[in-house]
């Protein structure tokens, strides 16, 4: 609830490991809230949620240690340098000692920027620093809120690369993005949100043509089979879910 207004109203969702899930929906549909819920930052009014095997309500500290968020805010201390921030945040997460140089190279930040105050950096550079922090912390679940926004072409490519690498090592990614083309290219399943609940969830095979065939099924109707266009890839069973009145908010891995 946000000041007495429910941000999510009946969510029934399940995402498996190593998936790259894309959250879609109009502004105000609750995408950011879903991400924050996965991070254990949002209180549950009713239902259950478990992330990475930990119950969000009971064991939120464990959840948080293994989760990394990249959002509109950079979560960086402006008065500290890039190096300071990297060291602090990775130590806080008890991540293995970070090799500053290699992380900065990975996100395309020049080495000399290591000793520059974050406040003096450009917006794009700050974004990259935030990405560096995310990478350095080594979380098992990545939560990306509009990650492509504010990045140039190179930055967006970089991000996609990071996501791909991460999935290779067993990371799960949940992302909310308006940049549909790019996001759909890397997503392995799509969740449509509106009015604070998900309407449908479809595993999309790699081919971009299938991206447009996700159905928008209104509430209360039973498990509808989504219309699937010509599928060239392996038939991936879609997982649409009903969204009844106050269903358990469930997200398990």
Partner 1 sequence: MLTDARLVAGKDLRLEFRSRVTTTQVLPFVVAIVLLFGFAFEPDADLLVEVTPGLFWMTVLFASMLSIQRSFGIESADGVRDGLRLSGMNPSGIFLGKAAAVFVQLIAVEVVLGFTVTILYGAPIDGLGVLIVTALAATAALAGAGTMFGVLAAGLHGRETLLPLLFLPAVAPVLIAASQAHGLALAGDSGSGLRWSALLALFAVVYVSFGALAFGPLLEES
Partner 2 sequence: MTAIPPVDAPGAPAHTGSTATRYLGFVVAGGLALLVALGLFISPPSIEQGDATRIMYIHVPSATTMYYGFGLAGFASAMYLWKKTEFWDLLAGAAAEVGLVFCGLALATGSIWGKPTWGSYWQWDARLTSTLLLFVLFSGYLAVRALQMDTAVRAKRAAFVALFAMIDLPIVHYSVDWWRSLHQEPTLARRDPEIDGMLLFSLMTGMLVFALLFTWLLIHRFRVEFLARRHETKGLADAIATRRAEVHLDQSHRSPDVLDASTGAMETTP
Closest CB to partner 1 among 69 and 103? 69
Least distance from C-beta 22 to partner 2, angstroms?
18
Q: Which does 76 bind (CB under 5 to 8 A by kind): partner 2, partner 1, none?
A: partner 1
Q: Report, in Å, the least distance between residue 252 CB and partner 1.
A: 20
Selection from 67, 76, 75 nearest residue 34 by Cα: 67
Residue of 80, 116, 224, 239 that binds partner 1 (CB under 8 A): 80
How many other C-beta atoms lie within 10 A of the C-beta of residue 92? 10
d(CA 113, CA 121): 9
Give, as ranges, the residues between 51 and 70 that touch partner 1 (CB under 8 A). Answer: 61-62, 64-69
Whole-angstrom distance, CA of residue 29 vs CA of residue 33: 9
Which one-letter DSSP state was computed for residue 59? Answer: -
Ordered DSSP codes for 125-165: HHHHHHHHHHHHH--SEEEEESTTTT--HHHHHHHHHHHHH
Site string for partner 2, 196-235 (x = CB under 8 A): xx-x----------------x-xx----------------
Reported as type and span, the H/E element at residue 199 is strand 197-203
Shortest approach of partner 1 to residue 5 CB, angstroms?
15
Is 5 an interacting residue with respect to partner 1 (CB under 8 A)? no
Distance CA 17, CA 170 (A): 7
Looking at 9-17, 51-59, 85-93, 224-232, which segment touches partner 1 (CB under 8 A)? 85-93
Q: Which residues bind partner 1 (CB under 8 A)?
A: 39, 41, 43, 61-62, 64-69, 71-81, 84, 88-89, 91-94, 117
């Amino acid at each position: 609830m946000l000041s007495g207004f429910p941000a999510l109203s009946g969510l029934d969702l399940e995402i498996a490991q190593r998936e790259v899930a894309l959250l879609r929906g109009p502004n105000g549909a609750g995408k950011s809230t879903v991400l924050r819920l996965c991070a254990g930052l949002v209180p549950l009014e009713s239902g259950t949620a478990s992330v990475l095997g930990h119950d969000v309500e009971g064991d939120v500290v464990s959840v948080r240690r293994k989760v990394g968020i990249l959002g509109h805010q950079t979560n960086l201390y402006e008065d500290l340098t890039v190096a300071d921030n990297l060291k602090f945040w990775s130590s806080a997460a008890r991540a293995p000692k970070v090799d500053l140089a290699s992380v900065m190279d990975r996100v395309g930040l020049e080495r000399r920027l290591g000793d520059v105050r974050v406040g003096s950096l450009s917006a794009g550079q700050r974004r990259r620093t935030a990405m560096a922090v995310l990478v350095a912390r080594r979380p098992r679940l990545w939560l990306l809120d509009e990650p492509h926004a504010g990045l140039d072409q190179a930055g967006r490519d970089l991000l996609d690369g990071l996501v791909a690498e991460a999935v290779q090592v067993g990371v799960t990614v949940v992302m909310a993005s308006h940049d549909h083309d790019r996001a759909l290219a890397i997503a392995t399943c799509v969740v449509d949100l509106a009015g604070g609940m998900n309407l449908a969830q479809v595993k999309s095979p790699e081919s971009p043509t299938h991206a447009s065939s996700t159905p928008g099924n209104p509430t209360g109707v039973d498990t509808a089979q989504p219309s699937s266009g010509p599928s060239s890839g392996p038939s991936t069973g879609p997982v649409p879910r009903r969204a009844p009145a106050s269903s358990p908010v469930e997200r398990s891995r």
